[in-house]
Amino acid sequence: MNDVSFGQYYPASSFIHKCDPRTKILFLIAFIVAVFISDTFYALGACAFLFVLVAAFSKVPVKSLLKSVKAILFLLAFTAFLNLFFYSGKTVLASWWIFTITKEGLIYAAFLAVRLFLLVLASTLLTLTTSPVSLTDGIESLLYPLKLIRFPVHELALIMSIALRFIPILTDETSRIMNAQKARGADFETGGLIKRVKAVLPVLIPLIISAVRRADELGDAMDARCYSGGKRTKYKKLTFAWRDLIAFLLVALLVTGVILLKVYLPAVV
């Protein structure tokens, strides 16, 4: 549970931390688009290079970024397994029963794994370099045009911010409950899959009770401070600076380069 880094904020004084939260959100959206439209390893390499550059300027430890990958290792393995054994290709490397490993399937499995790897790292970097309050303000500002049709923009942004903040809180709470259960003789590490699932079930009830209690306390605290939704004032005003212009230029170059590679180079398989 201590390896979960998504939703946590890493305080630092870096170029990325000082960027406007709206810029970072738009940068992430453009980066995701670039990763999804990439169909060659050259394009994914360009996306990876830009991510490494941004991560270096963020001063976030590599260990904190890689922690987020542990949560999706099963998804990575499952995706690679499906594409490795069930992707149809011309060059057959091995075949057994209904499973067939082809050269094209091997390449495509690696391609999808790298794509998913980049998406998770980029999303984690956003939460590590942006505080929940700034993230809420950025989302609310970007969705401001929806207020014209009376869409509850502020409430939606607040819900997303609270959800992100509760991720590390609930993981810590789960870790404490599991340690307490271990002290009473519970075993979470031995046995088969079914036995481990049954051992984890007693953890869910106190975890749900704790989550409901924390939500109730949060609601009482908001009521005590006379919270009234969209009428809330802001301590800091969001402003674009020269850092944001550089970020926009970098992501624009990335998307343009990926599109050109998509046009002039063949797909990965």
Catalogue the E-assigned strands of the chain: 92-96, 99-102
- For 187-216, what is each residue's pLDDT tens digit? 777 766 677 777 777 788 888 888 889 889
pTM: 0.77
- For 78-106, what is each residue's pLDDT tens digit? 877 777 776 676 776 667 776 677 777 78
Say which residues have a Cβ less than 8 Å from residue 86's Cβ, sequence separation at least 6: 99, 100, 105
- For 41-64, what is each residue's pLDDT tens digit? 899 999 999 999 999 999 888 888
Bridge partner residues of 94 (DSSP): 101
Domain layout of the chain by residue ranges: 21-264
Q: How many CB atoms lie within 10 A of CB 267?
A: 11
Q: What is the rounded CA–CA span in Å between residue 70 and residue 258?
A: 28
217-239: average pLDDT: 77
Maximum mean pLDDT: which of 44-53, 157-166, 198-207, 237-246: 44-53
Please state, rounded to an integer, the average pLDDT across all residues of the chain. 82
